[in-house]
Amino acid sequence: MQTAPRTAPPAESDALAGMLVVGQLFADVVFGDLPGAPVLGHEVWTSSFGAGPGGIANFALVGARLGVPTSIAAAVGGDTFSTMTRASLAAEGIDLSYLVTVPGWALPVTASLGYGDDRALVTGGTPAPIGSDALLPDVLPAAAVALVHLEEARSTWTARATAQGTRVFADVGWDPSERWDPSLLEQLDDCHAFMPNHLEAMAYTGTDSAIDAARRLGDRVPLSVVTSGSAGVVAVDSASGDEVVRPPVRVHAVDATGAGDVFGAALAVAGSRSDWSLLQRVDFACLVAGVTVSRPGGASGAPRLDELADWLGAHPTAAEPGRYDFVLEALHDQGESSTTLFR
**Residue ranges making up the domain that contains 286:** 15-37+45-334
SS3 337: helix
Torsion, Cα of 297, 235, 231, 324 (10° steps): -70
pLDDT at 94: 97
100 lies in a domain? yes
319 lies in a domain? yes
Q: What's the mean pLDDT in 281-291?
A: 98
| Residue 254: pLDDT band with limits 50, 70, 90 | confident
Query: Side chain identity at 142, as an amino acid letter?
Result: A
| Residue 339: pLDDT band with limits 50, 70, 90 | low
Torsion, Cα of 18, 21, 25, 31 (10° steps): -70
- Confidence check: pLDDT of 1 > 50: no
Residues 161 and 158: their CA atoms lie apart, in Å, by: 5
209 lies in a domain? yes
| Residue 152: pLDDT band with limits 50, 70, 90 | confident
20 lies in a domain? yes
179 lies in a domain? yes
2 lies in a domain? no
Full-model pTM:
0.90
**Whole-number percent of the chain with pLDDT over 90:** 76
Alpha helices in 39-163 (DSSP H): 57-65, 80-91, 157-163
C-alpha to C-alpha distances, 119 to 30, 124, 204, 224, nearest whole angstrom? 10, 17, 22, 24
Structural domains of the chain, count: 1
- Confidence check: pLDDT of 12 > 80: no
The tens digit of pLDDT for each residue in 108-121 reads 999 999 888 778 89
Torsion, Cα of 200, 297, 73, 131 (10° steps): 40
Residues 230 and 117: their CA atoms lie apart, in Å, by: 7
The angle that helices 259-270 and 278-293 make with each other, rounded to 10 degrees, is 150
58 lies in a domain? yes
C-alpha to C-alpha distances, 43 to 36, 38, 49, nearest whole angstrom? 12, 8, 15
Residues 135 and 238: their CA atoms lie apart, in Å, by: 32
Query: 242: domain CATH number?
Result: 3.40.1190.20
7 lies in a domain? no
Alpha helices in 206-258 (DSSP H): 210-217
The tens digit of pLDDT for each residue in 174-195 reads 787 888 898 999 999 999 999 9
Q: Are 311 and 317 in contact (CB under 8 A)?
A: no
Residues 10 and 182: their CA atoms lie apart, in Å, by: 39
Strands 145-149 and 19-22, how do they pair?
parallel
Q: Are 303 and 311 in contact (CB under 8 A)?
A: yes
